[in-house]
């Protein structure tokens, strides 16, 4: 029986131990290398020539998305699967654009995880249910909301590169909903909503709800 070889990269050793044990409970899967950041992922793929790379996103030195993109552009034969705790639209779309063949959340069950491994190994793509919803929504609504600042020239557009989901969260925040209420409405985790809200404040360069509301109105974002 031919074994599928896998390189596993995550900056938490306990997480790697658990994932490795899960993978190697299947006779046809074998972990041939482990790393803790994106640069190690690239080195290991070059040395081990694995069939698959299972990699986290947020790591020191180089993120998982950056590593996947570099491997895709270098024509490496390895197929990449993102395994992350983050289900934000921004991370998902960046991962797919970088060349990831799969995207799974870390709370995915063993049966689905193994199914994803086999699907990607055999040439397919695999995204869990919530991730697929984000991708479908982006396909149906691919145009980001960009507007002209009325105080500047007509050709000047807002500098806030907001995603569709961030705009949704912005509208709900300004309607007075709490993070928990937004979470329930969008069927996302509260942690994800908090991430979107943080990204909104960062991108729009504001520190409180009043300034967020003013700037959103100034740029016709709501």
Domain with CATH 1.10.10.10 in the chain: 143-222
- CA dihedral 50→78→82→110, nearest 10 degrees, is -50
Question: Does the predicted model carry a pTM greater than 0.85?
Answer: no
Q: May I ask the CATH class of domain 4-137?
A: alpha beta
CA distances for 191 relative to 61, 74, 135, 187, 204, angstroms:
24, 35, 20, 12, 20
143-222: CATH number: 1.10.10.10
Domain with CATH 3.40.50.2300 in the chain: 4-137
Per-residue model confidence as pLDDT tens for the chain (222 residues): 689 999 999 999 999 999 999 999 999 999 999 999 999 999 999 999 999 999 999 898 899 999 999 998 886 799 999 998 887 777 888 888 889 999 998 888 999 999 999 999 999 999 876 676 666 665 545 544 443 333 333 334 445 788 888 888 899 988 888 888 888 888 877 878 888 888 888 888 888 888 888 888 888 887
């Amino acid at each position: 029986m031919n074994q599928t070889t896998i390189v596993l990269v995550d900056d938490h050793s306990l997480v790697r131990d658990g994932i490795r044990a899960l993978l190697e409970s299947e006779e046809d899967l074998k972990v041939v290398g482990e790393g803790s950041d994106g640069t190690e992922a690239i080195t290991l793929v070059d040395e081990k020539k694995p069939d698959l790379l299972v990699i986290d996103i947020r790591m020191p030195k180089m993120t998982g998305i950056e590593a996947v993109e570099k491997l895709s552009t270098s024509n490496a034969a390895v197929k990449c699967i993102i395994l992350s705790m983050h289900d934000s639209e921004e991370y998902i779309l960046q991962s797919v654009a970088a060349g990831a063949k799969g995207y799974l959340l870390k709370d995915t069950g063993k049966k689905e995880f193994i199914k994803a491994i086999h699907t990607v190994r055999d040439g397919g793509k695999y995204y869990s249910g919530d991730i697929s919803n984000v991708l479908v929504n982006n396909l149906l609504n691919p145009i980001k909301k960009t507007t002209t600042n009325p105080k500047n020239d007509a050709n000047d557009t807002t500098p806030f590169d907001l995603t569709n989901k961030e705009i949704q969260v912005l509208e709900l925040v300004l309607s007075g909903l709490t993070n928990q209420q937004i979470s329930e409405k969008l069927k996302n985790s509260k942690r994800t909503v908090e991430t979107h809200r943080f990204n909104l404040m960062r991108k729009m360069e504001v520190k409180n709800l009043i300034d967020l509301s003013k700037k959103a109105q100034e740029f016709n974002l709501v």
